[in-house]
Structure 1
Amino acid sequence: MLTYPNIDPVAFSIGPLSVHWYGLTYLVGFVLFVVLGRLRLRHPPYAQLVQQGQWQVRDVEDLLFIGVLCIIIGGRLGYVLFYKPGYYLAHPLEIPLINKGGMAFHGALLGSIVAMVWFALTRRRPFWQVADFVAPCVPLGFAAGRIGNFINGELWGRLASPDLPWGMVFPHSGSMQPRHPSQLYQFLLEGVLLFVILWLFARREHAQGRVAALFLMGYGSLRFVAEFFREPDAFLGLLPLGMSMGQWLCVPMIAAGAGVWIWAGRRAQAH
């Protein structure tokens, strides 16, 4: 059994300004998106599109900028609507206060879709071409974010067997019993493993839309599994069928990915 190392959430301070580790993990995620996006432009089919002048290196930074804006808005609204609608209906002035309550991934996903739709429309490019480009570039950002959760000692896992070698005591959980370090599970599953799967899959050309579809199915499935080890939100607990809110939100995500996968294959055959 291990004890959470109780890491100071503040990485360093410059005068009155405190820079938090969690903020730095977001910065790492943004940098990784740009680096991976530029690498994507060197491989088919985007290398050919660059040669034809349809894609440019600056498109990666533009996608990041609009993406960050929409993800923050979507992530916050997702938390408000999916997790605490009653509370925020009674306290609407607290909705913009991201430091109180945080954000939700599934809301951020919807925000990212809005960003990609906007980019596709303004640049006159097929939406699924944009979505396929973005999909492999984001999982390592998720991985960085989960490390941030671990450093903050938040989003800990469910109670684990005392015999689990990596079971960890999180003092802020209100219990001195060992728990699963679910943040690290999610780091490995939704971050590293999903990145490897998508990156290798995307190195070959596929029917347009299938890389994005694999992202939806892959993230949804891996998050669904990870949720079995993550402590449900105290104010929600487990929902019908013993599933967490995160798992219920993953179900339509997996279904949508399967639908896009089938549609993309049929569309490619028709052409």
Structure 2
Amino acid sequence: MWVHDIDPIALSIGPLKVHWYGLMYLIGFAGAWWLGVLRAKKPGSGWNEEHVSDIIFWGAMGVVLGGRAGYVLFYNFDKFLADPLWLFAVWEGGMSFHGGLLGVIIAMYWFGKKHDKTLMEMGDFIAPLIPIGLGAGRVGNFIGGELWGRTTDLSWGVVFPRGGDLPRHPSQLYEFVLEGVVLFLVLWWFSSKPRPRMAVSGLFLLLYGVFRSMVEFVREPDAHIEFVAFNWLTMGQLLSLPMILIGGAFIWFAYQCNEKKLSAK
């Protein structure tokens, strides 16, 4: 058993405080840009470095704005109704992956209109880049001592002071391994060869939904929401269910229709 005592502030310069969580965002975006450039350099990719820079910029905007909006609307809708301006109180923290995903989809739609690329074409290109940011974000969650797991008697349980005196699952690290490492390795391998359009995007949606749903069984649900149904279904699982269904449908459609146009390597 280990007591979490990591300082969430990486650097302090006078009144300026740089948090590890913010640095993890920078690492995620920088890693996605670097991997995107590698993919763009492959022959016949249809992408170039300028495309990658633009898509990372607009994708970052989608993540931040959509993530905040998703957190407010999915997890704190009652508070939003009471005080709509709270939506803009970003300094109070609070991000949602599912909201961030919707924000990225909107940003990519706009990007596609500008560069004459379809939403599915962009989805297949950027899907293998996303796990880097997901993994980095979960490390940031762990360093910040937030989004901890449920209590456990396993030897690797961690005591998070803000979560009480009992050891808990380090669910942030479980998500780092599954949503970050495993998801990246699978998608990078899968996308390294030509695949039918929608297949890579579908695999991302399917696997993320499955991995997130698995970890939710040991992750502490939000105190103000608890379980949304059956005394075990969490909001994270509810929001992940459409991803699993849509991801599976994308994969089925991609191969059943024998799409001739292959996704970019």
Identity of aligned residues (%): 47
Aligned residue type for 1:92: P
Asked whether 1:221 is paired with 2:220, we answer no
> Which residue is 2:37 aligned to?
38
2:10 corresponds to: 11
Q: Is 2:251 the partner of 1:251? A: no
Q: Which secondary structure does the structure 1 equivalent of 2:225 belong to? A: coil
Q: Secondary structure at the match of 2:10?
A: strand
Equivalent residue number for residue 55 of structure 1: 47
Q: Within 2, Cα distance between the matches of 1:23 and 1:104?
A: 15
Shift of 1:106: 0.4
- Residue 270 of structure 1, CA deviation: 7.4
Give distance in 2, aligned partners of 1:137 and 1:78.
21
Answer yes or no: is 1:126 the counterpart of 2:118: yes
Select which of 145, 161, 164 maps to 1:171: 161
**In the alignment, is residue 105 of structure 1 matched against residue 101 of structure 2?**
no
Retained in 2: the 8 A contact 1:77–1:107?
yes
Q: How many residues align?
A: 260
Identify which range, 99-108 or 149-158, moves more after superposition.
99-108
What's the counterpart of residue 261 of structure 1? 251
Is 1:21 aligned to residue 10 of structure 2?
A: no
Deviation sequence 1:103-161 (CA, Å, 0-9, x none): 11101010111111111111001221111000000101111111111111000000102
Q: Does 1:188 align with 2:163?
A: no
Shift of 1:100: 2.3
Residues 186 and 226 of structure 1 are in contact (CA less than 8 Å); yes or no, is this contact kept in structure 2? yes
Q: 2:219 aligns with which of 209, 230, 248?
A: 230
Paired residues of 1:208 and 1:268 also in contact (CA < 8 A): no
Residue 269 (structure 1) shift? 4.8
TM-superposed CA distance for 1:102, in Å, is: 0.6
Q: TM-score, normalised by structure 2?
A: 0.94
Whole-angstrom CA distance in 1 between matches of 2:245 and 2:96: 19
Q: Distance in 2 between matches of 1:197 and 1:14?
A: 40
Structure 1, unpaired ranges of 5+: none
Encode CA deviations 1:187-219: one digit per residue, 9 max, x unaligned: 001111100010010001100110010000010
Q: Is the 8 A contact 1:9 1:22 kept in 2?
A: yes
Picking from 139, 147, 151, the partner of 2:143 is: 151
Equivalent AA in structure 2 for residue 209 of structure 1: M
Cα gap change, 1:99/1:33 in structure 2, threshold over 3 Å: closer, same or farther?
A: same
Amino acid at match of 1:217: L
Q: Give the Å deviation of 1:87.
A: 0.9
Q: Say yes or no: does 1:239 pair with 2:231.
A: no
CA distance, structure 1, for counterparts of residue 259 and residue 52 of structure 2: 30
Q: Provide the C-alpha distance between the structure 1 equivalents of 2:7 and 2:32, rounded to a whole number of angstroms.
A: 27
* Conserved 8 A contact 2:197-2:259: no
Counterpart position of 1:81: 73
Q: Following TM superposition, by how much is the alpha carbon of 1:68 offset from its aligned partner in structure 2, in angstroms? A: 1.0
RMSD: 1.4
Q: Normalised by the size of structure 1, how large is the TM-score? A: 0.92
Q: State the 1:268 CA deviation.
A: 2.9
2: CA distance, partners of 1:267 / 1:74: 32
Q: Which amino acid aligns with 1:2?
A: W
**Could you list the runs of 5+ residues in structure 2 that have no partner in the other structure?**
none
State yes or no: 1:93 paired with 2:46. no
